[in-house]
Amino acid sequence: MKTFHQLYLDILKQESGQERTLQEEYDPYHMDCLLHPKRYAPVIFQEQCEQCAYERACENSCIFDAFERDENGRAIINPDKCIGCGACVDACRLERLVENKDVVPVLQAVRAKEREVYALIAPAFLGQFGEGVTVGRLRTAFKAMGFQGMVEVAVFADILTLKEALEFDANIHREQDYQLTSCCCPVWIGMIRKIYHELLPHVPGAVSPMIAAGRVVKKLHPQAMTVFIGPCMAKKAEAREKDIADAVDYVLTFQEVQDMFEAADIHPQELGEDEKEHSSRAGRIYARTGGVSEAVRETVKQLNPKRAIEVKAEQADGVPSCRAMIERLKNGETSANFFEGMGCNGGCVGGPRRIIPAEEGKKNVDNYSERAEYKTPLENPFVLELLTRLGFHTVEEFLEKSDLLVREM
């Protein structure tokens, strides 16, 4: 019988026209996971565990208590609790856990051509698909696959940077005041919402750049399907959270996209350029640890150069470091007033489904950010024009709650 991964690769070939039928037996559960990924948690059992020889390492690795037991005592994953961080996948020495895939419904939508399908690419994409694969070539590759277009999520990181900077300027007036970033990492936000919820009053109710991108694309193209692409498994869970599930239809990892390109015989490095770069340096550096803090600090300086209290940031990457930083904050052992957490070591460039090493990814992101024409969103005319198109004409309007850029924390 085929394994889950073998079935996944065979369906990829079938959807790409290389094979017509599946030749071997497969588990119907695996097939349903691939055809209907939204029914399941981002992590699934590819083989059931009757007894674990490793003291339930998967359950012990989950800080969100997503593992439960069915009536027969077997481990199951609660999709409402699983945040998709992937810690259990790494912890399972028997390799019975695997991340689910969103590829099949995406390919079916692209082939059906009933809706425009947009790829929303995360800022960590530089270098992931081969040396010499520029933004323009990657956009051409997605169009060759059948996507209507590719949108850089870094543009929406710009927009959220401006929002967080405005929130900081409006709310931080005393030395004891502080703000926790709401941007970017679903593991960080999941920790605050589910474990350290007493800190929620210090988190602006802004959505992540992924959600902002999906909502804006759907506002401008109401019938569109949006597909986020990044190195992160946890984005699959974020996209399905009930209060923001309107924004992004499916989430693919970089590895899933690489599998799609290979199955369709598309080689991005050999394609022509389709250039449309609109993000500033601030939005591009979100992909690595410290990027959000740096972006907000520079934007606050531009917003209010004479501000008495500047942004004093502290960052942490990796879940243990994030928890240690939160404990320092709760115990009054830090003088910082802006806290940034990333669930993965190195930030998004260290995501579990990256293709290249984290250090190489960081170097690529930094080089790309230095080539940006604009330093902050305040200098970026495209961002300001987009905000106007979305109905934000004043700072007051931008700070007010709007369905587009905020959520209830």
- Cβ atoms 269, 231 nearer than 8 A: no
Of 4-13, 315-324, 391-400, the least confident = 391-400
52, amino acid identity: C
| Residues facing residue 206 across a β-bridge | 406
| 236 closest CA partner among 38, 36, 404, 406 | 38
* Structure token digits, residue 210: 């992924």
Question: How many CB atoms lie under 10 A from the CB of residue 298?
Answer: 21
Question: How many CB atoms lie under 10 A from the CB of residue 316?
Answer: 21
* Structure token digits, residue 122: 């995360």
Tokens 């790494």 identify what position?
Answer: 90
Domains assigned to the chain: 4-101 (3.30.70.20), 102-409 (3.40.950.10)
Burial class (CB in 10 A: 0-12, 13-18, 19+), 61: middle
**Most confident among 127-136, 149-158, 284-293 (mean pLDDT):** 149-158
| For residue 241, pLDDT beyond 70 | yes
pTM above 0.85, yes or no: yes
State the pLDDT at residue 189: 94
In this prediction, residue 403 has a pLDDT band, given cuts at 50, 70 and 90, of confident
Q: State phi, psi for 32 to the nearest 5 degrees.
A: -65, -35
Q: State phi, psi for 24 to the nearest 5 degrees.
A: -115, 170
Per residue, the 3-state secondary structure of 59-100, as one string, reads: HHHCCCCCEEECCCCCEEECCCCCCCCCHHHHHCCCCCEEEC
Question: How many CB atoms lie under 10 A from the CB of residue 355?
Answer: 18
Mean pLDDT of 245-265: 95
Beta pairing, strands 149-152 & 179-180: unpaired
